[in-house]
Each structure stands twice: as C-alpha cells, then as structure tokens.
Amino acid sequence: MKKMNEKSLTPAVIPGTKVAILMGSDSDLPVMQKCLDTLREFGVRTAIHVMSAHRSPHAVAEYTTSAEKNGIEVMICAAGAAAHLAGVVSAHTCLPVLGVPMPSKYLSGVDSLYSTVQMPGGIPVATFAIGEAGATNAAIFAVQIIARKDPELMQKLYAHKAKLAKGVSEKDAALQASVSKK
C-alpha cells in the first residue's frame, strides 16, 4: 500500500491571519459559524479548516508548528466525542489554544467536554462551554488576547461590553413597562 504524503494536504496560512479555527469535522461548522462570525464582527482575520487529530495528524502538527511564525496568535479547536484536537494542537505550540467541545449524538457533548478539558499537566487548553455559547465565548476570548497589543481592538471590546449592558437595560425597561400596565 502506498503511503500518502500528508504534507501536501496541509493548508497554507494566509498572511495577516491572527486566529486559526480548526474543526475535527465539517459537521462542526454550524456551531463554529458563531465563532467565525464573532471574530469577523471584530475585524479579526481568521482562517478556518477541517483537520483531525486522528485522521490527519501530520497535517495538524505541521500547520500548528508553523502557525506562530506565520503570524497566528490564537488557535481555536472544535471537536466532538473523543475530542483530542485541542490537546494535540497544544502539544505542538506555545500559542494559546482554546477548546470548544461539540455537541454529540449520544452524550450531548459531555464526552467532548471531558476530552477537551482533561489535559495532562503542561498541555493547557482553555475550555469553553459545549456548543454555540462556547464558540462565541472562544471568539471573544481570542479577541481579548489579541487586543492586549491592539488599542483599536480593545476599544471594540469596550463597545461590545457597552452594547451588552445597553441590551439588558432595554430589556428591563420593556419589562417594567409591561409590568406597570397590569
């Protein structure tokens, strides 16, 4: 049997990319679209790829080990079931690795959560909630990491927080108006 040359399967990094999102499967995209959309709202150049810790380990290792020299600052990994992707990525880089556990058919994502959060000492993965909330929060956390060196991006974060607070205030005002009519 001929050995496949996996190196040719490793995607190139587009110049200016700050965040790489790696998904274990294309079926993770509906959840990770929240992550991608959030990063784009902040104007953070992002790459998104399907790579598997189990099915394309050489491509994962090659992409990850070259990420820092290619300008990537944060790696976000999404995987379900035996979610080893974030741990494998963390083993190959000193960049921050953020893990998003994917919902799964049989255990509702708890298996993914445990696989992502239970890393051996020395292989850190910041782990977020299962599913869309985790995808959104991983994006915000990536922006917070990058914004430490980017004042313009930090201002966008402050505006985002103010928008969240304003939304709560508006909902409370609507509630108070509704309750006072009764």
Q: What is the 3-state secondary structure (H, E, C) of the chain?
A: CCCCCHHHHCCCCCCCCCEEEEECCHHHHHHHHHHHHHHHHCCCCEEEEECCCCCCHHHHHHHHHHHCCCCCCEEEEEECCCCCHHHHHHHCCCCCEEEEECCCCCCCCHHHHHHHHCCCCCCCCEECCCCHHHHHHHHHHHHHHHHCCCHHHHHHHHHHHHHHHHHHHHHHHHHHHHHHCC
- Residue 55 inside a domain? The answer is yes
Per-residue pLDDT tens over the stretch 139-171: 999 999 999 999 999 999 999 999 999 999 999
Same-domain status, 171 and 92: no
Same-domain status, 163 and 143: no
Structure tokens at 107: 């255990």
Same-domain status, 98 and 136: yes
- In this structure, the number of other CB atoms found within 10 A of the CB of residue 168 comes to 9
DSSP bridge pairs for 98? 76, 126
Structure tokens at 69: 């020299």
Same-domain status, 99 and 130: yes
- Residue 64 inside a domain? The answer is yes
Query: In the predicted model, is pLDDT for residue 8 greater than 90?
Result: no
Same-domain status, 96 and 133: yes
Maximum CA pair distance of the chain?
Answer: 77
Full residue range of the structural domain in which residue 140 is found: 6-149
Percent of the chain with pLDDT over 70: 96
- Residue 46 inside a domain? The answer is yes
* Number of domains the chain is built from: 2
Query: In the predicted model, is pLDDT for residue 4 greater than 70?
Result: no
- Residue 1 inside a domain? The answer is no
- Residue 41 inside a domain? The answer is yes
Which of 82, 80, 75, 118 lies closest to 102 in space, CA to CA?
80
Query: In the predicted model, is pLDDT for residue 99 greater than 80?
Result: yes
Per-residue pLDDT tens over the stretch 9-64: 778 888 899 999 999 999 999 999 999 999 999 999 999 999 999 999 999 999 99
pLDDT confidence of residue 180:
87
Same-domain status, 143 and 161: no
Structure tokens at 58: 């050489």
